[in-house]
């Protein structure tokens, strides 16, 4: 998935730093004392332990964002561990009355009797299970629930469908239609053809023309059913929130010059009673109500209604869970430690023990009155709270710390310090990005709606022979092969390094993005560049006025080269082009597959399915099952997936071209090429950008994204940070750039021509 590109010129970075003299904008003119940050670090640790692992009903109900803001403000002035202990108890005991906070030098035993109810006969065990982790910006792929507590699901995708044998309709034109109205949200009809060997056929889901009209109208999908069709599937769906109605489904098949109707079971929903699910139709989607209604039929007496609603489901994700009596004993810092039970008993209404008196209710009221109504990172306490929130997500759930050797504890200290000196929302955006950079996650990013719009120079650059080299330009001042020595007096290599500080990912990913955004800054600002052209050095003033992408090499998606070699640009190839080119590729003596970028999934899969005789094994992805804090005793649920092979097979010699622009789909299939040894891989390592993302939103509208699962190569070796390495490394040269040569493609052609299969 294409990521948002972070970037900033060195000048802008230095401006940010120079304008931050170390004053914490929180109503005070002096920086917080070092003691304050130690207090906040202790609070941060306890915050994570209670939020994600203590199963009390109060902890589940509290507004954790506002609690973080209020908490950092409360603990900041504590002068010693005794004061801090008292404040932490005032903060946490109303939401977690069974935890114990104590001075670390004391030996405090934990007694299960303190959390054992007098009678457990009508109680059930309550404990957290995390599948990855579900946060406030997470889609349904990841989940967090409390065992034996019902879970409320908010709808993401609700679907009505029916499947029919397609063999009688092969090769025939069809019209699929229904009456639809969208009272709220958007509705979409859809029609899909399933072909032999699980191949994809005709598909249309009205993505480009969703239904938003609140009156009954008939909508249709037209097409031709594939010659090798096995099944047809059709229906109606809605995403996110809304309420839609559908009625009078029809399927017409063209026989000669006539359109003949095909019977759809229960097409008008008349056979169902009010409130029932529609008979003969399948429904899918948590967080939705599917029912037949008499409210507003388009025809007859009834219609189908699909409405988003919070739906309750049972609370268990997997077999493993904390047992009653299990707890963690953790140091918090400041000479304090904590004991946090991981499992409690509870009735349907309340976990045991309950907080005394009105303490929880009072805390809820305080959070409403003692935190700002509008949460913005212009407030220093909001910034500190955001560091606490974000740091804990990765402390407990980031799956790649076994590969990334980073002292995450020191990152908490470092980021709190930087957040203190930030003066506004944009300063803090870069602080968060620097923290994400320590994770080295190529899908790690932070965005904000107020982020400035940037423009670049009228040229494209690459890192060649340890220099920033211009490789393409639409301005006559610059030529291919020009060496950029400095930007406003700052070494060009240092410009790249400074930008890379704020980019998370593998070294090759960071360098690629920094090059792609080289010199970016406010539109129409001027910059003085020092350029070396051959033996001559010159100063050129240019303007940041370019947006878009300059192409160094303009190629067709499929191109026949000499000696019966076919070149395929997998980053441009469409599915239709891929399907129509298979016979040509199968007849070629050699095929070069260029993956320098991200390809379209269906198109790339279509080509690769003809490269092998057996199923193609994908990367191994696995999601962490987390029931203990600090990533202790994590187990992983893994997924192995294979793509089927198809005929005709492409028998000619295969060579693949890669560099750091290869991500996601391209990396998937280059990984398959590597594992199945389909041919030489030419170029430079891929970016290591793969796996299902997770995300969360911080107070002040910061969206943080990251890779929520572990990804391994097919042989279970490391993929993270490394990506796919070429079997034939090729480095570009300045001479080659000046001559307009694609040196990676030249090497690929050389390999195909030598010792052909």
Q: pLDDT tens for residues 594-634?
A: 999 999 888 899 999 999 888 888 999 999 999 999 999 99
State the pLDDT at residue 288: 86
- Coil/strand/helix, residue 285: coil
Q: How many Cβ atoms from other residues are within 10 Å of residue 616's Cβ?
A: 23
CA distance 196 to 230: 6
Dist CA 667 CA 660 (whole Å): 10
Considering only CA atoms, which of 319, 390, 411, 397 is closest in space to residue 631?
397
The pLDDT of residue 30: 39
Residue 355: both structure tokens together = 């907080």
pLDDT reported for residue 139: 67
- Continuous H helices in 291-407: 359-369, 380-397
Pairing of strands 590-594, 565-569: parallel
Distances (CA, A) of 697 to 64, 139, 154, 393: 12, 12, 17, 12
* 342 contacts 327 by C-beta, under 8 angstroms: yes
Low-confidence ranges of the chain (pLDDT < 70): 1-32, 139-140, 152-154, 197-198, 310-315, 755-757
The strand pairing partners of 289, in sequence order, are 307
Give the pLDDT score at 24.
Answer: 38
- Joined together, the tokens standing for residue 492 give 């060009």
What is the model's pLDDT at position 405? 86
pLDDT of residue 747: 97
Structural tokens at position 182: 């969208």
Distance CA 15, CA 123 (A): 60
Report pLDDT for 19.
Answer: 28
Is 637 within 8 Å of 625 (Cβ atoms)? yes
- Please give the angle made by the CA atoms of 114, 118 and 121, to the nearest 5 degrees: 125
Residue 488: other Cβ atoms inside 10 A: 15
Half-sphere exposure of 664 (CA within 13 A, CB side): 14
What is the topology classification, in CATH, of domain 558-753?
A: 2-enoyl-CoA Hydratase; Chain A, domain 1 (3.90.226)
CA-to-CA distance for 287 and 238, rounded, in angstroms? Answer: 11
In 383-482, which ranges are E strands? 445-447, 459-464, 467-473
Question: How far is residue 626's CA from residue 515's CA, in Å, rounded to a whole number?
Answer: 38
Instruction: Using the structure block, give the residue that is written with the tokens 């109810």.
Output: 117
**First-to-last C-alpha distance (Å) of the chain:** 35
622 by Cβ neighbours in 10 Å (0-12 / 13-18 / 19+) ranks as: middle
- Parse the chain into domains and list their residue ranges: 21-122+323-441, 157-313, 558-753
Instruction: Give tens-digit pLDDT for 414-436.
Output: 999 999 999 999 999 999 999 99
Q: Which CATH superfamily is 157-313 part of?
A: Galactose-binding domain-like (2.60.120.260)
């Amino acid at each position: 998935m294409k990521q948002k590109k972070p970037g900033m010129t060195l000048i802008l970075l230095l401006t940010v730093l120079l304008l931050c003299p170390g004053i914490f904008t929180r109503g005070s003119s002096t920086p917080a004392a070092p003691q304050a940050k130690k207090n906040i670090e202790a609070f941060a640790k306890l915050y994570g332990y209670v939020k994600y692992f203590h199963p009390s009903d109060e902890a589940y109900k509290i507004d954790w964002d506002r609690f973080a803001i209020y908490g950092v403000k409360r603990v900041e002035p504590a002068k010693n561990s005794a004061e801090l202990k008292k404040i932490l108890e005032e903060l946490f005991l109303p939401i977690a009355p069974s935890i114990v906070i104590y001075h670390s030098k004391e030996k405090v035993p934990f007694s299960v009797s303190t959390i054992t109810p007098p009678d457990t006969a009508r109680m059930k065990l309550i404990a957290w299970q995390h599948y990855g982790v579900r946060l406030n910006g997470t889609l349904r792929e990841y989940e967090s629930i409390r065992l034996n507590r019902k879970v409320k699901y908010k709808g993401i995708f609700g679907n009505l469908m029916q499947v029919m044998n397609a063999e009688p309709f092969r090769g025939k034109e069809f019209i699929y239609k229904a009456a639809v109205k969208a009272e709220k949200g958007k509705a979409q009809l859809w029609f899909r053809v399933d072909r032999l060997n699980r191949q994809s056929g005709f598909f249309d889901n009205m993505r480009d023309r969703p239904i938003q009209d609140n009156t009954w109208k008939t909508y249709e999908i037209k097409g031709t059913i594939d010659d090798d069709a096995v099944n047809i599937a059709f229906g109606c769906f809605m995403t996110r929130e809304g309420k839609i109605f559908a009625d009078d489904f029809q399927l017409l098949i063209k026989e000669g010059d006539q359109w003949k109707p095909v019977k759809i079971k229960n097409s008008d929903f008349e056979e169902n009673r009010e409130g029932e699910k529609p008979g003969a139709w399948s429904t899918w989607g948590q967080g939705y109500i599917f029912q037949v209604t008499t409210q507003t039929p388009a025809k007859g007496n009834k219609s189908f209604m699909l409405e988003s609603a919070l739906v309750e489901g049972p609370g268990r994700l997997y077999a493993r869970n904390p047992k009653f009596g299990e707890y963690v004993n953790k140091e918090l810092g400041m000479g304090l430690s904590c004991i946090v039970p991981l499992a409690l008993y509870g009735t349907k209404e309340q976990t045991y023990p309950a907080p005394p008196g009105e303490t929880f209710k009072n805390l809820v009221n305080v959070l409403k009155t003692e935190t700002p109504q509008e949460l913005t990172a212009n407030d220093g306490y909001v910034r500190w709270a955001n560091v606490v929130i974000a740091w804990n997500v990765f402390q407990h759930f980031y799956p790649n710390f076994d590969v990334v050797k980073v002292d995450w504890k020191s990152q908490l200290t470092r980021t709190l310090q930087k957040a203190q000196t930030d003066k506004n929302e944009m300063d803090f955006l870069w602080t968060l990005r620097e923290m994400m950079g320590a994770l080295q996650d190529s899908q790690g990013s932070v965005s904000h709606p107020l982020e400035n719009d940037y423009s670049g120079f009228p040229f494209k650059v690459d890192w060649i022979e340890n220099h920033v080299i211009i490789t393409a330009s639409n301005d006559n001042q610059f030529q291919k092969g020009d060496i950029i020595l400095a930007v406003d007096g700052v070494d060009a290599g240092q410009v790249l390094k400074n930008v890379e500080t704020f980019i998370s990912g593998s070294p090759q990913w960071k360098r690629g993005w920094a090059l792609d955004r080289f010199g970016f800054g406010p539109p129409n600002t001027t910059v003085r560049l020092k350029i070396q052209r051959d033996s001559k050095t010159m100063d050129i003033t240019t303007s940041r006025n370019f947006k878009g992408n300059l192409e160094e090499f303009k190629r067709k998606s499929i191109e026949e080269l000499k000696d019966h070699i076919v070149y395929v640009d997998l980053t441009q190839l469409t599915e239709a082009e891929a399907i129509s080119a298979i016979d040509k590729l199968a007849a070629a003596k050699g095929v070069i597959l260029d993956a320098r970028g991200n390809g379209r999934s269906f198109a790339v899969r279509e080509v690769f399915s003809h490269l092998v005789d057996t199923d193609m094994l994908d990367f191994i992805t696995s999601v962490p099952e987390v029931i203990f804090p600090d990533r202790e005793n994590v187990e992983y649920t893994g997924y192995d997936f294979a793509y089927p092979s198809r005929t005709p097979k492409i028998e000619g010699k295969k060579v693949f071209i890669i560099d750091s622009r290869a991500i996601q789909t391209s990396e998937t299939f280059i990984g398959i090429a590597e594992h199945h040894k389909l041919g030489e891989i030419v170029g430079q390592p891929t970016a290591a950008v793969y796996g299902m993302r997770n995300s969360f939103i911080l107070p002040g509208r910061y969206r943080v994204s990251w890779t929520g699962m572990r990804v391994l190569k097919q042989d279970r070796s490391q993929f993270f940070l490394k990506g796919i390495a070429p079997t034939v490394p090729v480095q570009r040269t300045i001479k080659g750039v000046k001559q307009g040569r694609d040196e990676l493609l030249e090497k690929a052609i050389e390999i195909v021509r030598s010792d052909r299969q």
